[in-house]
Amino acid sequence: MLKDFLSLVFPRTCIISQVPLAKGEQLISTQTVIGLPRFDLNEEHTSLVRRVYSFAPVSHVWAYYKFSKQGKVQKLLHALKYQNHPEIGEITGKWFGHALLENTGIADVDLIVPVPMHRKKQKKRGYNQCDYITWGLSEILSIPWSTQVLVKTENTESQTRKNRLERYRNSYRSYAIRKNANIQGKHILLVDDVITTGATLGACANLLLAGGCRAVSVVALASPE
């Protein structure tokens, strides 16, 4: 009763489109979710594959949402990363997982691994958004996940002004495989929030392959087309 009264006085709104949330909706309205541009996961998009495969021989590349500057997906990512809404990662990870279940390529994966954040940056933000996306994916796909495989060893500066090769070199020396990580002979699904140049995912994939993985596939919550 009190909750319903407060909703009338202080109506909850969608964090992306600011429309009022209906009863039962959390953070994002159903109307907004339906309107978010998505990739067709039944076919791998050449631009995504080339972006990552130019750095590492990955098996599959999938992204869920189509990212554009000033678009609704950018607002979603901004809320996830900078507005203290890690639960968006879990929610969208579950949606992504349901969509991936229809793709047979995911059935061969043994372990899901999020791209790590440096401990200082994670302490400042309070969480790694990739962990929450991975958590949601794992729950729906029924595939175990672990944060004890990769570690970011250097707290690197922003890469926005670096070219593709500079980003790759910077990323490759910034990550490492943790000691005692159990990855031998496994097919790893590597998770990031956004694919931009593909350098970070490529660097992490090469480390995993060099460390004994059988195969590496990558997924990201969003990517430009």
- Domains of the chain, start order: 1-35 (no CATH), 37-223 (3.40.50.2020)
How would residue 6 be classed by pLDDT, with cut points 50, 70 and 90?
very low
Which pLDDT belongs to residue 5? 39
Percent of the chain with pLDDT over 90: 70
- Residue-level length of the chain: 225
Res. 171 pLDDT band, cuts 50 70 90: confident
Question: Hey, what amino acid is at 193?
Answer: D
In the 8-state DSSP scheme, what is residue 64?
A: E
Instruction: Give 38-79 pLDDT, tens digit per residue.
Output: 999 887 788 899 999 999 999 999 999 999 998 999 999 999
Evaluated on CA atoms 125, 203, 93, 69, the torsion sign reads positive
Q: What is the pLDDT of residue 10?
A: 44
Asked whether residue 9 carries a pLDDT value surpassing 50, the answer given is no
**Using an 8 Å Cβ cutoff, are 80 and 86 in contact?**
yes
Tokens of 103: 């793709």
Task: Indicate the pTM of the whole model.
Answer: 0.90
Q: H helices of the chain, where?
A: 2-9, 30-35, 46-53, 72-82, 87-100, 119-125, 129-141, 164-172, 199-210
Confidence of residue 162 (pLDDT cuts 50, 70, 90): confident
- Beta strands at 61-66 and 215-223: parallel, antiparallel or unpaired: parallel
Closest by CA to 14, choosing from 37, 35, 43, is 35
Q: Residue 157: what pLDDT? A: 64
Q: What does the alpha-carbon distance between residue 172 and residue 202 come to, in Å, rounded to a whole number? A: 8
Mean pLDDT of the chain: 90
In this predicted structure, the answer to whether residue 208 has a pLDDT above a threshold of 70 is yes
Mean pLDDT along residues 87-107: 90
Q: Report, as an integer, the average pLDDT of 177-200.
A: 95
Residue 201 has pLDDT above 70, yes or no: yes
Mean pLDDT of 164-191: 92
Q: Reduced to 3 states, what is the DSSP secondary structure of residue 24? A: coil
pLDDT score of 57? 96
Tens of pLDDT, residue by residue over 11-23, are 688 888 888 988 8
